[in-house]
Structure 1
């Protein structure tokens, strides 16, 4: 324990611990509480207590241990109070109905650790309960286990903040009303929850790779967290092709981490990045995973996304990218996973193969569809295509819409710069036209 800290230092230490240690603290506490709501409440209380305690007593050398101990003690106190209440007032308490758990079962602590050694990954598997809809599983796990703010989860899942808040609330109510127990699943039950777990890790990484909001392009703590969990999942389920695919996708994408912004923090597009600085070790490891996965049989959505990302990374330059092969892989991916986001991403290589006019027609069809009305990258891609077609006024309108939908400060600065460029082009064209009159 250090000496007493001022309020600002204590507050910063608590904020840092929340970003980096929330999942550890919650995972440890839920094992004591055996109830996610109670565990979450105790962890929140522990963080609140840390603000005053650390200011008075100093910041502990191991903040995670301090928070975990405090949260566990609060959970044990709550359990003791509940037991006392039940023993003192037996006639006022209805006996709990026996819950049939054919797929969950009760297992010993040793079996639990053998099944899922990583405590954070164990909690994610636990929260991805099959009684909940997959969207609810994703939202609840990202909010409670990964600590993502509700607005950021809403952006990741392309819904409004109000819709997402209601979805999380309904999921928690269903758990309470239906008395769904949060039991850690047995090894045989893990495959049934794998799709949801993969979705959680992918969305967690995506929120770290490009933060939905905030002053920096990335939240490296989230990206690192997702990479760690993906590796732990690979160790747990090494023969699952989609586990290999997800890990490869995250590694290929993260290999560009240090080149995505300039020295002054400006966003650099893929064609502007210094490819010599990409992490070649990570790219090589990901390539091996992709090749092994493609040889192993029918590729799933994560493996195909990894193969697409790898083709971008392997090209000597942006212009030399194998665009036709990327379009072919996107076609396979769309057949397997007909997502509007995938369809939008496909328009970029389509524009390189068939021209911006063809790609623009596809983007406008997605715009009419309406499912991507909250997705800032649709107007961004549309603006780029319009600019390439020389339709600068329309490109400026699309950039303004993208700017309205974007909360990340670095991305907003990039879009504002593109919008200024459009204005400069319009002024130049107007002066050229006037000079010829």
Structure 2
């Protein structure tokens, strides 16, 4: 009887001790599950890049089910097969594409979620993101210019290669972030793509300095299938070592060669000698009107730097700086007096011609006026216009090669 009581007491004591163990200590171990993707971009457009995304699953589960959702809506789901579960003891790759889902996916962000269960363990759920793009084919890029001049600093030519890449924000973030420049000797290096810029730009510089003159191409470097792949090469473009230096050019002709008509000649004599216009005053009274007015036309050099100022340079010899004067003929035929001169003295008169006063045929039309401010009746009241020139800014090309 004493032995039975002892056993009963021991059993009661055991129940008391077990009842004191925390509930968390008795909870089941969770199912081991890991879900990730090192290849999360999907863009099924047939160009061979990002045609399938990949999700890696590792688990010790006896059963697992996955769903693909967007905005809370399930767009695809399935159970892991027996073979996939066996491989998942280490790691199994699950392809995500239209064949897996059953239909093409619209552009956007999707959640791939896996729920795994194992006997004697609590279920586990993990997820990762898949990013879908519908950007067009990754085709060969076309540079905006056939030749670039990195050493040049003046407007009018391409100083850098510019190529529209056509990538959307999804691909730029998850599929590629660099491009390479390839020359005859291979790749010169790689450059990061600015996601804020719709174009790839290369200014001819490398980590070793300026690239030599030659022919180059550009290609994208893309991340796909957990590795690096090259996109197609762009169309070729040439890098030139040429550059321009700004300089002034003056095209000069004899004054009579630019004269188209003599419009006014009163109380004065005009004669031509060696292409110069020689004036002599004959009046014996004071006259406010010009004694001589001749019409002239000069052509602006075609290689003028666009938009820059044009100067008409008249050279001769006059008694007083006030003896010569000028009127400009506007493209619509109006005649305007010129009150301000770039320079005016006894040997030269320089007229500043804004681009708006150049005629559509590229000419400047103006009138030369001559009077004499000498003492009325003085036989030495004379003047002479020798040449008329056009001064413009031009570029002169230089080449380092």
TM class by shorter-chain length? under 0.3
For the pair shown, the structure with the greater C-alpha radius of gyration is 2
TM-score normalised to structure 1 length: 0.20
TM-score normalised to structure 2 length: 0.21
**Higher relative contact order structure (alpha carbons within 8 Å, sequence separation ≥ 6):** 2
